[in-house]
Amino acid sequence: MQSFIAALLNSLDIALLLFVIAVGLNIIFGVLNVINFAHGALYMLGAYFAYTAMGLLGLSFWVALVVAPLLVAVVAIAIERLMLRMVYDRHITDSLLLTFALLLIIDESVRMIWGPSIHVVDPPALLTGTFSVFGVNYPIYGLFVIAVGIAMMLGLWLLFTRTRLGRIVRAAALDREMAQTLGINVPMVITGVFAFGAWIAAVGGVVAAPMRAIGPAMGEKIIIESFIVVVIGGLGSFPGTLLGALVLGFIHGFGGRFLPEINLVLPYIGMALVLLIKPQGLMGKRASA
């Protein structure tokens, strides 16, 4: 029972962190029709900015949580304006290749700027320590991650369904030309959405910073995981992303705990199964392909 609860909590906190990262990926895909390979690199950039703010400049975690994602969003605006814009009207593989190039560039730049060492930052005092449920000790910070995930989910849901801005974005996602004719500044919306997606990834990076080691390889691992989440849940589907993240979180939380021999293979088997049975993902709209 105890181990079950520990695995459950662990699954949830992995899942909600994954959700935060994958949802940005999915929003970008939904609107831009771009699979952003560099999304994990933006997440890493968020973590490194947080490290710079907290570890080098001595600012608090909360300041980092506000500032770092904004900086990453600025980087993202530059990327979108200078590079991605050139390939929208081409085949989707071109944007995949271009963002893959970006992944290499950002990864290596990070290593040049911050060096290859592993960095760590401490969680804020408020969130340090453990709590106990049913005899299981669990870090408070894990709860915080879960809370951030839920807050992000609610915020996004409200944004997309209850605000004018959200409707504009959805309109642009649905039919660019029509949105343009209706007087929506589509290029602006696209830049905004890409920056917003990057912002979300960076929030994930800052949140992850106190519990993961900050190192040059952190983005690469998360991007594959995010792909799996998005594919399992459904490309372009918002609730699907949550479901996908939960599935993967549980695979990690319980698989690592109870089936360590095959825990590496499980996520891929899950992904392949979903793609075969329901290629558009568990919650995806009917795929165009």
Measured distance CA(208)–CA(213) in Å, rounded: 9
* Residue 108 in the binding site for other proteins (CB under 8 A): yes
Do residues 202 and 73 make contact, with C-beta atoms less than 8 angstroms apart? yes
CB of 55 to other proteins, least distance (A): 11
Binding segment for other proteins among 145-153, 170-178, 198-206, 227-235 (CB under 8 A)? Answer: 227-235
Exposure of 13 by Cβ count < 10 A (0-12 exposed, 13-18 middle, 19+ buried)?
buried
Interface of this chain with other proteins, residues 109 to 128, rule: CB under 8 A: 109, 111-112, 115-120, 122
Structure tokens at 117: 């060492």
Q: How far is the CB of 52 from other proteins (least distance, A)?
A: 16
CA distance 269 to 254: 15
Map the footprint of other proteins across residues 250-279, applying CB under 8 A. 252-257, 260-262, 264-265, 268-269, 271-272, 275-276, 279
Binder among 143, 171, 211, 282 for other proteins (CB under 8 A): 211
Least separation in angstroms between CB 195 and other proteins: 19
Segment 40 to 79, residues that bind other proteins, using CB under 8 A = none
CB 83 to other proteins: min, Å: 6
Contacts of residue 187, Cβ cutoff 8 Å, sequence gap at least 6: 85
Closest distance of CB 184 from other proteins, Å: 25
Q: Answer yes or no: are the C-beta atoms of 202 and 69 closer than 8 Å.
A: yes
Helix, strand, coil percent content, the chain, rounded in steps of 5: 75, 5, 25
Give the residue, chosen from 62, 133, 137, 174, that forms a contact with other proteins under the rule CB under 8 A: 137
The CA distance from 25 to 18, in Å, is: 11
| Residue 138 found at the interface with other proteins (CB under 8 A) | yes
Distance of closest approach, residue 255 Cβ to other proteins, in angstroms: 8
Shortest reach from residue 155's CB to other proteins, in Å? 25
> Taking phi first (over 0 means left), then psi (-120 to 50 degrees means alpha), and beta for anything else, what does residue 196 get?
alpha
Q: Identify which of 151, 167, 171 has the alpha carbon closest to the alpha carbon of residue 159.
A: 167
- Residue 201 and residue 196: Cα distance in Å, rounded? 9
Taking CB under 8 A as the criterion, the residue among 59, 83, 143, 147 binding other proteins is 83
Interface positions, 3-32, toward other proteins (CB under 8 A): 3, 6-7, 10, 14
